[in-house]
Amino acid sequence: MPASDPVMIGLDWGTSSLRAYLLGADGTLLDRRATGHGIQHLPAGGYAAAFRSVAGEWIGRQPSLPVVAAGMVGSRNGWHEVPYVPCPANPDSIANGLAAFDSGFGTIHLVPGLSQGGPLPDVMRGEEVQIIGALALEPDLVTSSVCVLPGTHCKWATIARGHVTRFTTYLTGELFGLLRDHSIVGRPAKDAGLAAQPGLFDRDAFMRGVRAAGESGAVGVTARLFSTRSLFLTGQLTTSQTLDYLSGLLIGEEIRSVLAGLAGAACPPLVLLGDPRLCDRYRLALATFAIDTVRVLNETGPQGLWRIAIAAGLVLHSADSRKANRSHD
């Protein structure tokens, strides 16, 4: 089969956005579409209309293309709920948990997401696909590594022998948004109209916040948060610096707590997955904690969807396809 021929459609369908990928042999990205039709921002016509808007043209040309969708679309508040797959998990166990349903415009296979049991359980939906993609792109991470996925709910996932063995969720991004928009520490920037300018970045203020978190010791970051305001009131932070300082405090505390959990043990190889600007903040913060060797991978989701589709038998790996073709010669 020529590499240019589409073999599947992958969907990354989250809370605020919907991304669609047209994939060819070996997971080659042939085309992509994106809309703001996440599960909380659906158009008239709901899920079916959103699906048609991004994939309708592709399906119209090739109705038999398998469709694999990951993210919040499979959550309790999504199109159809899919039970989580418990850790440890790998592409095979995730593929075994796929749930197929008739969308009215063809069958969609929903990726289940992962769960971690215990007295304080944890869950993820969508991030597992990025992790599987990262392991496919960087095979040396398979044996032992940690995948960090910054975002509203940052995930730290431990990898061993190709399995996601455990993970922890940090609400760092959500806490930042709450403090920025609804607290006294975020008021100066909000009153100045600076809260909605994510492209601006004051590295010095950010690193100052990271260092303050790293030096908080047993006190912890909650006793440092008010310094965002006190430093502003005493003229040591400008209005425009307060949010980056606050971001540094929260990300620094996240990293400090992770390293404290290692109890002095060496940190496995780290890889950052996700938005490049946010990953860059984590990379800078990690260097403050003497973790300098950190890889950054962008857009690993398409490759993860591809690997799960292979494990589920929805598509053939190119090597398998060649074998099948030879058997018919």
> What are 209-253's pLDDT values in tens digits?
999 999 987 777 888 999 999 999 999 999 999 999 999 999 999
Lowest average pLDDT, out of 67-71, 129-133, 230-234, 313-317, goes to 313-317
Per-residue pLDDT tens over the stretch 108-162: 999 999 999 999 999 999 999 999 999 999 999 999 999 999 999 999 999 999 9
- Which comes out higher in pLDDT, residue 221 or 317? 221
Rounded-to-integer distance, Cα 329 and Cα 324, Å? 9
**Domain limits, the chain:** 8-125+314-327, 170-297
State the number of CA atoms in the 13 A half-sphere of 252 facing the CB: 28
The model's pTM is 0.92
**Confidence at residue 197, expressed as pLDDT on a 0 to 100 scale:** 62
2 pLDDT tier (thresholds 50, 70, 90): very low
Task: Name the token pair of 233.
Answer: 């009131």
Rounded-to-integer distance, Cα 22 and Cα 254, Å? 36
**Confidence at residue 216, expressed as pLDDT on a 0 to 100 scale:** 85
Per-residue pLDDT tens over the stretch 11-66: 999 999 999 999 998 899 999 999 999 999 999 999 999 999 999 999 999 999 99
Contacts of 142 (CB under 8 A, 6+ apart): 135, 159, 161, 162
Helical axes 203-214 vs 276-288, angle rounded to 10° = 50
> The dihedral of CA 35, 37, 43, 48: what is its sign?
positive
Average pLDDT value over all residues in the chain: 92
Task: Name the token pair of 62.
Answer: 């090739």
The answer to whether the beta carbons of residues 36 and 19 sit under 8 Å apart is no
What DSSP letter does each residue of 39-83 carry, written as one string?
A: TTS--TTHHHHHHHHHHHHHHHH-TT--EEEESGGGSTTSSS--P
Question: Residue 199 above 70 pLDDT?
Answer: no
Residue type, position 114, single letter: L
Share of the chain above pLDDT 90, in %: 85
Rounded-to-integer distance, Cα 180 and Cα 36, Å? 23
Question: Residue 326 above 70 pLDDT?
Answer: no
Superfamily of domain 170-297: 2-keto-3-deoxy-galactonokinase, C-terminal domain (3.30.420.310)
77 pLDDT tier (thresholds 50, 70, 90): very high
* SS percent in the chain: helix, strand, coil, step 5: 45, 20, 35
**Confidence at residue 244, expressed as pLDDT on a 0 to 100 scale:** 97
Distances (CA, A) of 264 to 38, 157, 256: 41, 19, 12
Question: Residue 328 above 50 pLDDT?
Answer: no
Same fold for the pair 8-125+314-327 and 170-297: yes
Rounded-to-integer distance, Cα 328 and Cα 4, Å? 22
**Confidence at residue 318, expressed as pLDDT on a 0 to 100 scale:** 62
State the number of CA atoms in the 13 A half-sphere of 302 facing the CB: 21
Question: Residue 313 above 60 pLDDT?
Answer: yes
Q: Does domain 8-125+314-327 have CATH number 3.40.449.10?
A: no
